[in-house]
Structure 1
Amino acid sequence: MAAVEFIKDLCTPALIIDLDQMKRNAEGMLERFHTLGVQLRPHMKTHKTLECADIMTGGSRRCIVVSTLAEAAFYADNGYDDILYAYPLPFDKVERCAELSERLSLFQVMVDNHLALQELKKRPLKQGQVWKVWMKLDCDNGRAGVPHCDPAALQLALEIWDTSGVELMGIYAHCGNTYACQGEQQIKAVAQDTTKIVLQFMEKLEAAGIKGVKSSIGSTPSCSQPVPDMALLSEVHPGNYIFYDVQQSLIGSCSLEDVAVRVLTRVIGHYPHRNQLLVDCGWTALSHDGGGRLPTGYAIIEGHPELKLLSMTQEHGRVEPISGKLDFKQFPLGSLLTLMPYHACATAMMHPVYFVHSKGKIIDTWKPTRGW
């Protein structure tokens, strides 16, 4: 692609990032938890780029969360350390985890079952190093983790604590149930419940003789609308906030003005007989996340609340008015539409390059890492 100066001249579909808004999102989260006295450990899964990571960490290149070993290796190769691989330990990836543990000053893995711990014991680290392990606690989110009310949670923590060659670093909980919330009050209720459960579990650890381990919860909604008791935690680990998206605005994490990411698409067809436009953005440029449940379909078409992205195939999108007849003269062939994605993480995964701009002028291109 020939170099262009302005986003309006990009070949489409293209993912664009408003650098000024993204920096405001990053600075807001850093300041929020600096004020609370809690360490921010930002999650890299939304963007998977070096440049964005530098902004999220304030340039420290330390204390991050990743969801894939491809991300972990990418950041390690670029001078990052204190990396937490926050994913239930996959047995086929133990050797890759060992290599990163032996290479970095602080690489951490996560377990939520006895068998995963046994896999670590089978692969002792070299030169007297020990595995740095976080235990995942399920605080009613219902994804990974040992249920907090199950006696097995404390038993596993004790087993990690007592295992030679392994160090229990902390207790990690994802309050993903905030994604079912609508509004600040509901978000704060879930954040409070999750925080309370984790802090109560930390008290159980203390009573059992386990001391000096960290506590961490996180999700973009809970960290965008934190409760005072979160100041008692060691860390938080949100990620999506760097871009935000339509979903987060509906939950109550942000306003639409906070969303820093868009997908540009062009009109490629007029079909008056079915009252539709065709655009060059299919699901491979946006994703199907959200299921078209918005009143405007799969995305918000910026500046055109009367339009709906009705459906997408791999490379095509169908756009029609929410009601009434479409004025095709407003949307000539080749004209540009701007889509605000429902879920920025899924949309970003569809693109091999991000076009970074300030007030419409392209100032950089960022290439995310990919793979597992």
Structure 2
Amino acid sequence: MDTSLIMAELLMAREPKKKQDVLRAMFVGKQLSEVPTPSVVLDLKQVTVNCERMLEAAENLGLQWRAHIKTHKTTELTRLQVGNELITPVLLIVSTILEAENITLLLKEYQSKDRHVNVLFAFPLFASAVPRLAAVSQQLGPDGLSVMIDHVDQLPYVKAIHSASGSYPPRVFIKIDVNYGRAGVKTDSPEYPALIDALLAAEQEGWLVLHGVYTHAGQSYGARRLGDAMYALSNEFRNAHIAAEKIREKSPDHAALVLSVGATPTATTIQSPWFMEECDVPRGNPSGSMRPRPFEEDLTELWGRWQKEGYILEVHAGVYPTLDLQQVATHARHTGLLSEQDIGISVVAEVASVYPTRGQNSTPEALINAGSLALGREPVGLDKKTGYNEETAKPYTGWGALMPWGVLAGTEEKDRSGKILGERFPDDFRGWQVGKISQEHGILTWVGDEGKKAPELKVGDRVRVWPNHACIMGAGFEYYLIVDSRYPGQEDEVRDVWCRWNGW
């Protein structure tokens, strides 16, 4: 089919399915060397592995799992997050109402297969959200919608959803601030007891169900050492338990409450091999004991005790299917489970110009057609407490790093572990990074040892960039090109196109 005709049809397409069909006709079967740039690419193999690891870990530990879909905003990847063929509950989190509206059809499909479904709008409730959330609740029926509350003045909006949805009482999570300072109520504040009282009174009147408490340790994105994120997970659970106990003090016979905790660094630590009865990871224990480390042992004991108390323990996370440089920098898990090799997302860009000696100390620079609109503008912070030698280390300060692909395949310097980024990333880095950025312009800068020549880039070369933060960079794209590295020699073939739901 003529490409110009396809493009014309694409512009006319209004229905998501029709748009996806046109995009598939345009791209499936092509190589990444043939697609427009910048384009965002998902590796089906890696996002599948990342989803399966999360599902398996939660099941092994007897924890309830709730998947956040804000990173990718697609039906296809949501299926992977919840296990399309499983029979477990389908519990989701959305950050925009548009996500909830678009995922409703899939949730109704799972309901038809007798899977319990629930979607949580994870933003403290506001007035203009009421009509659209009520419509979602009406479609999903009883217990289909959860909302988040952190202030007593939000309760009239919950009541309005109940009235407009066909009298389905929404489930309510209280958002607890665990010292992140973004949203949530502090459990030691005078507002918290008053909020509990108001929620319990509303529950008695029948227009909401006080379902549990919810935490998000966003500060765990700043973790830089193995163990930091699990420590944050422990703190999350302890804070959630304190919050729930205050509810029980006021309502001892209340139905089981959910303690829902997590951010990708903290939630994915439950994949730790130390939780398993047997593992091949060296424990650094001269006695050869197979006992867990203190963090895992302590958490396992807490979980067992709180489950016996009648609490439902839930973990949630969002960016874990794709990962990104920000997540690799946390060192939240053993490197066998978290390195750049686990990143499932990248941006294909073209080298538009080169500047052989323009950089610092006459190093080369190159211009690519992927700037802040394609990569986002969020840095990966450094932590000097890790003790890197400032005289020799070259910290990563970029807006994206080039992955080994195409002209750069096999040219990157690896550390002793065989990893491209190295065990001390981001406090030490060697390679091409997107060192400067504006809307459409990305400037590649070389970070290398003195006297070491940068791998040559030429005008017309294609490169792939690992983004700093997949959630933000994805907003600049309407669809993902899907490749699958499970097929040797065909890793660059586009096998599908997944459309995103951009907007609010």
| TM-score of Structure 1 vs Structure 2, range by shorter chain | over 0.9
Q: Does 1:331 align with 2:457?
A: yes
Shift of 1:54: 0.4
Counterpart position of 1:64? 92
Residue deviations 1:205-240, cap 9 Å, x none? Answer: 222213322221110011111343456452111011
Counterpart position of 2:76? 51
Q: Which moved more, 1:147-156 or 1:186-195?
A: 147-156
Q: 2:442 aligns with which of 317, 333, 336?
A: 317
Any idea what SS the aligned residue of 2:248 has?
Answer: helix
Counterpart position of 2:53? 28
2:123 maps to a residue whose letter is Y
1:201 to 1:58, Cα distance in 2 relative to 1, 3 A: same
Q: Does 1:368 align with 2:500?
A: yes
1:66 maps to a residue whose letter is V
Q: Does 1:117 align with 2:155?
A: yes
Q: Does 1:260 align with 2:344?
A: yes
2:396 maps to a residue whose letter is P
**Whole-Å separation in 1 of the counterparts to 2:193 and 2:437:** 47
Residue deviations 1:349-368, cap 9 Å, x none? Answer: 22111111112222111111
2:211 maps to a residue whose letter is M
Q: Is the 8 A contact 1:296 1:307 kept in 2?
A: no
Q: Does 1:289 align with 2:378?
A: yes
**Whole-Å separation in 1 of the counterparts to 2:440 and 2:503:** 22
- Gaps spanning 5+ residues in structure 2: where? 4-25, 109-116, 271-298, 307-311, 333-337, 359-363, 383-394, 405-411, 413-429, 486-490
**Whole-Å separation in 1 of the counterparts to 2:78 and 2:125:** 23
Shift of 1:154: 3.1
Q: Is the 8 A contact 2:446 2:454 kept in 1?
A: no
Q: More strand by proportion, 1 or 2?
A: 1
Q: Does 1:197 align with 2:323?
A: no
Q: Does 1:102 align with 2:203?
A: no
1:242 maps to a residue whose letter is P
Shift of 1:114: 0.8
Any idea what SS the aligned residue of 2:236 has?
Answer: helix
Shift of 1:153: 1.7
Counterpart position of 2:257? 213
1:92 maps to a residue whose letter is S
1:344 to 1:181, Cα distance in 2 relative to 1, 3 A: same
Q: Is the 8 A contact 2:351 2:368 kept in 1?
A: yes
Q: Is the 8 A contact 2:178 2:236 kept in 1?
A: yes
Indicate the percent of aligned positions where both proteins have the same amino acid: 27
Residue deviations 1:251-298, cap 9 Å, x none? Answer: 113221111111111111122352321111111111111179762621
Any idea what SS the aligned residue of 1:362 has?
Answer: coil
2:74 maps to a residue whose letter is T
Shift of 1:328: 8.9
Shift of 1:200: 2.3
Any idea what SS the aligned residue of 1:7 has?
Answer: coil
1:250 maps to a residue whose letter is A
Any idea what SS the aligned residue of 1:187 has?
Answer: helix
1:369 to 1:127, Cα distance in 2 relative to 1, 3 A: closer
Question: What's the TM-score, normalizing by structure 2?
Answer: 0.69
Which has the higher Rg, Structure 1 or Structure 2?
Answer: 2
**Whole-Å separation in 2 of the counterparts to 1:308 and 1:53:** 31
Q: Which moved more, 1:39-48 or 1:275-284?
A: 275-284
CA RMSD of aligned residues (A): 2.3
Residue deviations 1:89-116, cap 9 Å, x none? Answer: 0112112122222221211111111110
**Whole-Å separation in 2 of the counterparts to 1:128 and 1:313:** 49
Counterpart position of 1:239? 318
Counterpart position of 2:13? none
**Whole-Å separation in 1 of the counterparts to 2:451 and 2:127:** 57
Q: Which moved more, 1:265-274 or 1:331-340?
A: 265-274
Q: Does 1:9 align with 2:34?
A: yes
Counterpart position of 1:160? 199
Q: Is the 8 A contact 1:307 1:322 kept in 2?
A: yes
Any idea what SS the aligned residue of 2:240 has?
Answer: helix
Counterpart position of 1:186? 228
**Whole-Å separation in 1 of the counterparts to 2:458 and 2:452:** 12
1:177 to 1:310, Cα distance in 2 relative to 1, 3 A: closer
**Whole-Å separation in 2 of the counterparts to 1:10 and 1:289:** 26
**Whole-Å separation in 2 of the counterparts to 1:279 and 1:355:** 19
Paired residues in the alignment total 372
2:317 maps to a residue whose letter is P
Shift of 1:202: 1.9
Any idea what SS the aligned residue of 2:176 has?
Answer: strand
Q: Is the 8 A contact 1:184 1:225 kept in 2?
A: no
Any idea what SS the aligned residue of 2:67 has?
Answer: coil
Counterpart position of 2:415? none
Q: Is the 8 A contact 2:72 2:474 kept in 1?
A: yes
Q: Which moved more, 1:73-82 or 1:243-252?
A: 73-82
